[in-house]
Amino acid sequence: MEYAENILGTIGNTPLVKINKLTEGIDALVLAKYETFNPGNSVKDRMAVKMIEDAEAAGLLKPGGTIIEGTSGNTGMGLALAAIVKGYRMVCVMADKQSKEKIDILRAVGSEVVVCPTNVAPDDPQSYYSTSKRLAEETPNSWYVNQYDNLSNTKAHYESTGPEIWRQTDGKVTHFVVGVGTGGTISGVGKYLKEQNPNVKVWGVDTYGSVFKKYHETGEFDENEIYPYVTEGIGEDILPKNVDFSIIDGFTKVTDKDAAIYTQRLAKEEGMFLGNSAGAAIKGLLQLKEHFKKDDVVVILFHDHGSRYVGKMFNDDWMRKMGYIE
């Protein structure tokens, strides 16, 4: 009989799917690493379980404890599933720009959700970074995950996602393209792929309002780059320890409008019902097309599922209100 011991046993080994219509102007083979097949419908399931297992091994997370994390939703979901299986209490701290669906889904799987304002500095006491740290200090027998600086995040992708991509492409992958938020996916996958073949190019997709692209190109952390943006799950107003800039060959920035429009296009033209960062990623890939040659194999990673964005990018009233469609 074939079965998993629990839901965590179904994480990983997600398929690679060829993109056909949206990449018609590109000679290379473009394959999507389709992470919504994870049980929590996102790539974050991988690192959520890894961070918990490493914290248990280090004695940081004890039986009956409380897991506390600031999340844009997907890491919270992965942590929540692991918390259910392993018997922990889960508290998710979120910014109010995140979709209502993400908040509702986390509550549906038994998490407590604390919502904080988006439009404040990271060190503001009201920010979701500060609030999650404070709750961890105030809550007995708790563990603050800190996915931004917890290097088990990168390690999860070095140990699972990277080797899967290498195996599934038979070692023929030439480029890896992915949206960058905490940095764990790009750094872990990128490190593994470059160890197998140093010629593999690793491209990050960033958003306007985020500091990554300029910092990578100039080494300057420019606070003037920072302003609120709509795109969820990528970009940062901090420099997480999980972003290893030495592994990244370059960044391209995608506007909120393009990310939203291409999220819809993936659904309507490829049958790929995906999240907002997937729209940003495919538009970023199209912006990079002069880097791809005929025999290249380009792998793009799609983080999460469209069900998280039904009230936003998949709602034409919302799209019109934002000025993204006529």
Residue predicted with more confidence, 77 or 101:
77
DSSP-derived secondary structure for 210-249: -SHHHHHHHS---GGG-------SS--SS--TT--TTT--
Residue 97 pLDDT class (50, 70, 90 cuts): confident
Helices 74-86 and 44-57, interaxial angle, to 10°? 50
> Considering the domain 45-144, what is its CATH architecture?
3-Layer(aba) Sandwich (3.40)
Per-residue pLDDT, 123: 87
Helices 100-108 and 74-86, interaxial angle, to 10°? 0
Coil vs helix vs strand at 196: helix
Residue 225: partners with Cβ closer than 8 Å, 6 or more residues away: 209, 210, 211, 214
Do the Cβ atoms of 53 and 12 come closer than 8 Å?
A: no
Per-residue pLDDT, 128: 87
Domains 7-43+153-321 and 45-144 share a fold: yes
DSSP-derived secondary structure for 11-53: -S-PPEEE--STTTT--SEEEEEEGGGSTTSBTHHHHHHHHHH
Radius of gyration of the chain (CA): 19
For 243-270, what is each residue's pLDDT tens digit? 999 999 999 999 999 999 999 999 999 9
Q: Which two tokens stand for residue 60?
A: 């940081």
Q: Is the pLDDT of residue 101 over 90?
A: no
For the chain, give the number of residues.
Answer: 326
Q: Is the pLDDT of residue 161 over 90?
A: yes
Percent of the chain scoring above 70 in pLDDT: 100
The 142-144 sheet, strands edge to edge: 112-116, 89-95, 66-70, 142-144
Do the Cβ atoms of 301 and 35 come closer than 8 Å?
A: yes
Do the Cβ atoms of 148 and 241 come closer than 8 Å?
A: yes
| Closest residue by Cα to residue 258 from 276, 271, 234 | 276
Cβ neighbours of 25 (radius 10 Å)? 7
Per-residue pLDDT, 242: 98
User: What amino acid positions are annotated as catalytic residues?
Assistant: 44
Element spanning 115, H or E = strand 112-116
Is the pTM value of this prediction over 0.75? yes
Q: Is the pLDDT of residue 186 over 90?
A: yes
| Closest residue by Cα to residue 184 from 213, 214, 162 | 162
Residue 44 pLDDT class (50, 70, 90 cuts): very high
For 55-69, what is each residue's pLDDT tens digit? 999 999 999 999 999
Cβ neighbours of 103 (radius 10 Å)? 18
For 118-129, what is each residue's pLDDT tens digit? 888 888 999 988
Beta-sheet pairing, 250-254 with 201-207: parallel
Residue 298 pLDDT class (50, 70, 90 cuts): very high
Question: Amino acid letter at 160?
Answer: S
Per-residue pLDDT, 119: 85
Question: Amino acid letter at 66?
Answer: T
The sign one gets for the Cα dihedral 154, 290, 200, 217 is: negative
Question: Amino acid letter at 313?
Answer: M
Coil vs helix vs strand at 89: strand
Per-residue pLDDT, 73: 87
Per-residue pLDDT, 6: 98
Per-residue pLDDT, 145: 97
- Report the range of poorest mean pLDDT among 76-85, 90-99, 188-197, 288-297: 90-99
| Closest residue by Cα to residue 48 from 18, 92, 16 | 92
* CATH class of the domain comprising 7-43+153-321: alpha beta
Cβ neighbours of 209 (radius 10 Å)? 18
Per-residue pLDDT, 72: 81
Distance of CA 208 to the CA centre of its chain: 17
In the chain, where the domains are located:
7-43+153-321, 45-144
